[in-house]
Structure 1
């Protein structure tokens, strides 16, 4: 007598793919907003994705249309540094804006927003800690005394820092991109905060790019248009987000502060 069991087929686990994706999955886990009752608007999310795609498309066009001023490796390094700087700008400006927002809110909203702070604080802390560990593993002037004079313990520390850097490098890069995109999970505190923060970060980044100069041999008019396009488009999108929150959902900055 044979019996049949209707069990679902087991999915095959691909250990290598899981290991490669682990830093990106972890970055998304820490940097995406997680408040359950947070308002999500498909139109706003779609506009943000479209803006990102247009920005990437304009960057790709700029690099393919004009010749590079230096080696490709140096340009790529500059772009990676720019992502880290954008995250650093958010780490500096974000707490000031969020702190001013919470302190300006009237009771009982103030206490409600304080209870929502663990989300942004987690995003800040994880990226800062991971970046610090990555710098420690890469800078010989920092970890050299521990490794050189530690004997077996130093060799073990060297091995551990090398293995950790394989995870930390993609994790920090992915977290930097996602932290800027999600404005360090400030939507967990309130939905009006991301559109208030985004123009500040993009404007600072455009100013830094203007000081650094163009990476390609493009005409000055094209480069200025490229620099102005990012802050203008992000600011326009932020105004549209705030307007949509007001007209469709009745969410305003004054209402969020209880005033």
Structure 2
């Protein structure tokens, strides 16, 4: 969750800066390309909303059997005792069916949200759709920010500092090297540079 928050904040700031600093026609082009990142950002939010709604429905916070009451939905076709029994049985069956549907939607929403978060983090919430350089520029910032949080959060395992910091540095260093390599590949193969990003 911290990683997603960092990506969202840095992505919004970085994309906003790039749109503001880009020369006249490019700023509008980048602004029109914000649809994919916004969809990638909205998918986990939608998933969390559905999870909350289904959890509230299953816990009886939205509607419960006591809210329905002993209404005779058979319109008096049966006797009053038989109609009340039929109504009670029908209400119970409806609540069981609704609970099964809510449980299925809850499981699907949890899986969808997890997948959306993993895909969003891996693609830095599709910022590459705005410009090809953005994922390579944002990824190191993300992993070094997470490294900073790990330093202040305390170690998860009891290990000597040499071992602990070596493993903690592995991720940020490898992502930074990969990002630099990607920036180099974009520059040498496709002539995409920071200057071309800003239209300069």
Residue 124 (structure 1) shift: 0.6
Question: Are the equivalent residues in 1 in contact too, given 2:140–2:172 (CA < 8 A)?
Answer: yes
CA distance in 2: counterparts of 1:137 and 1:226, whole angstroms: 39
**Does 2:141 match 1:200?**
yes
CA distance in 1: counterparts of 2:172 and 2:196, whole angstroms: 27
**Does 2:105 match 1:188?**
no
In the other structure, the counterpart of 2:107 is 166
Report the TM-score when normalising by structure 1: 0.60
Residue 113 (structure 1) shift: 1.5
Residue 214 (structure 1) shift: 2.9
CA distance in 2: counterparts of 1:251 and 1:166, whole angstroms: 43
Question: Are the equivalent residues in 2 in contact too, given 1:147–1:157 (CA < 8 A)?
Answer: no
Q: Give runs of aligned pairs for residues 139-154 of structure 1, distance below 5 A.
A: 144-148=60-64, 150-151=67-68
SS at match of 2:14: helix
CA distance in 2: counterparts of 1:132 and 1:242, whole angstroms: 37
RMSD: 2.6
Aligned length: 175
Residue 130 (structure 1) shift: 0.9
Question: Are the equivalent residues in 1 in contact too, given 2:22–2:198 (CA < 8 A)?
Answer: yes
CA distance in 1: counterparts of 2:177 and 2:67, whole angstroms: 56
**Does 2:154 match 1:249?**
no
Pick closer, same or farther for the CA change 1:181–1:103 going to 2, 3 Å: same
In the other structure, the counterpart of 1:235 is 176
Question: Are the equivalent residues in 1 in contact too, given 2:43–2:113 (CA < 8 A)?
Answer: no
Question: Are the equivalent residues in 2 in contact too, given 1:123–1:179 (CA < 8 A)?
Answer: yes
Question: Are the equivalent residues in 2 in contact too, given 1:116–1:188 (CA < 8 A)?
Answer: yes
Structure with larger Rg:
2
**Partner residue of 1:109 out of 11, 14, 26:** 26
**Does 2:11 match 1:94?**
yes
In the other structure, the counterpart of 1:210 is 151
In the other structure, the counterpart of 2:42 is 125
In the other structure, the counterpart of 2:76 is none
Question: Are the equivalent residues in 2 in contact too, given 1:123–1:185 (CA < 8 A)?
Answer: yes
Question: Are the equivalent residues in 2 in contact too, given 1:86–1:201 (CA < 8 A)?
Answer: yes
CA distance in 1: counterparts of 2:147 and 2:56, whole angstroms: 29
Residue ranges of structure 1 left out of the alignment (5+ in a row): 1-83
